[in-house]
A and B are shown apart, each in its own frame.
Chain A
Amino acid sequence: MDRVGVIGCGKMGLKHMDCFRRIPGVKVVGVYDTNAVKCKECSGVKHYETVAELFKDCDIVDICTPTNTHKEYIMEGIKQKKAVFVEKPLCRTMDEANEILKEAKKKKAKIMVGHILRYFNQYANIKRLVDAKAAGKPCVVRISRVNGFRRGSNNWFSSLEKSGGVILDLMIHDIDFLMWCFGDVERVYAMNLMSKGVQDTDYALAVLRFKNGVIAHLEASWAHYSGFRTSVEMACDKGLISYDSRNPNTLAVEFAGGRNFKDSPVDENATLVELKDFINYTRSGKIPKLDIDDAYGCLEVSLAALESTKTGKVVTIKKGKF
Chain B
Amino acid sequence: MASDDKVKIGIMSFAHMHAHSYTAYLMGMDSVKVIGLADDDKKRGRAMSKEFKIKAFDNCKKLLKEDIEAVVICSENSKHAELAIMAAEAKKHILCEKPISTNIKDAQKMIEACKKNGVKLMLAFPCRYLTSVTRARRIIENGEIGRILAIKGTNHGSFPGGWFVDVKKSGGGAVMDHTVHVVDLMRWILNKEVKRVYAEIDKSIHNKKIDDCGTLAFEFHGGVIATLDPSWSRPKSFMTWGDVTLDIIGEKGVIQVDAFAQAINVFDDTKNKHYWANWGSNADTKMLRSFVDMIRYNKEPAISGYDGLKAMEVALGAYESAKKKQAVELPLK
Contacts and interface: CB of A to CB of B under 8 A. Distances in A.
Nearest to B236: A239
Query: Chain A interface residue count: which class?
Result: 35 or more
Given A137-B204, A215-B214, A235-B233, A189 B198 contact: yes
Contact of A135 (B198, B213, B234, B235): B235
B237 interface: yes
Interface string B129-154: 00000000000000000000110101
Nearest to B230: A140
A106 B196 CA distance: 45
Looking at B217, B219, B234, the one whose CB has the most chain A CB atoms below 10 A away is: B217
A117 interface: no
Interface of B: 149-150, 152, 154, 156, 196, 198-200, 202, 204-207, 213-215, 217, 219, 223, 225-227, 229, 231, 233-235, 237-238, 247, 249, 253-254, 325-327
Contact of A314 (B152, B198, B237, B238): B198
Task: Determine chain B's interface SS by DSSP, over half rule.
Answer: strand
A203 interface: yes
Contacts of B152: 205, 219
Contacts of B150: 191, 193, 203, 205, 223
Given A189-B217, A215-B200, A207 B325 contact: no
A297 to B, nearest CB: 20
B254 A225 contact: yes
A31 B253 CA distance: 39
Given A140-B213, A191-B219, 4 more contacts: A142-B154, A142-B229, A207-B227, A223-B149
A105 interface: no
Given A207-B217, A239-B237, A213 B249 contact: no
Nearest to A138: B204
Contacts of B207: 237
A238 to B, nearest CB: 7
Given A140-B205, A189-B217, A225-B254, A239 B235 contact: yes
Contacts of B206: 237
Contacts of B249: 203, 221, 223
B225 A191 contact: yes
A44 interface: no
Contact of B326 (A140, A209, A217, A314): A314
B213 A193 contact: no
A213 B326 contact: no
Task: Determine chain A's interface SS by DSSP, over half rule.
Answer: strand
A245 to B, nearest CB: 15
Contact of B214 (A135, A140, A313): A140
A262 B217 CA distance: 34
A315 to B, nearest CB: 11
Interface string A181-224: 00000010111110010100001011101000101110101011
A193 B327 contact: no
A246 B12 CA distance: 46
Given A203-B150, A314-B325, A140 B219 contact: no
Contacts of A24: none
Nearest to B174: A140
Nearest to B195: A312
- The 5 A-B residue pairs whose C-beta atoms are closest, nearest first, are A235-B233, A191-B225, A139-B204, A215-B200, A140-B213
Interface string A115-155: 00000000000000000000101011010000000000000
A108 B276 CA distance: 56
A312 B219 contact: yes
A216 B234 CA distance: 16
Given A237-B205, A240-B233, A312-B219, A209 B200 contact: yes
A193 B233 contact: no
B231 to A, nearest CB: 5
A171 to B, nearest CB: 13
B225 A192 contact: yes
Interface string A267-296: 000000000000000000000000000000
Contact of A193 (B205, B225, B235, B326): B225
Looking at B200, B202, B213, B214, the one whose CB has the most chain A CB atoms below 10 A away is: B200
B223 to A, nearest CB: 6
Nearest to A144: B152
Given A191-B219, A224-B254, A140 B233 contact: yes
Contact of A312 (B226, B238, B327): B327
A139 B202 contact: yes
Nearest to B219: A191
B256 to A, nearest CB: 10
Contact of A139 (B199, B205, B325): B205
B217 A205 contact: yes
18 contacts: A140-B213, A140-B231, A142-B154, A187-B325, A190-B217, A192-B225, A198-B149, A207-B198, A207-B217, A213-B204, A215-B215, A217-B215, A219-B247, A235-B233, A235-B235, A236-B235, A312-B219, A313-B326
A264 to B, nearest CB: 21
A236 B212 CA distance: 12
Nearest to B152: A219
Contacts of A314: 198, 325-327
A209 B237 CA distance: 27
Nearest to A309: B225
Contacts of B231: 139-140, 235
Contacts of B156: 235
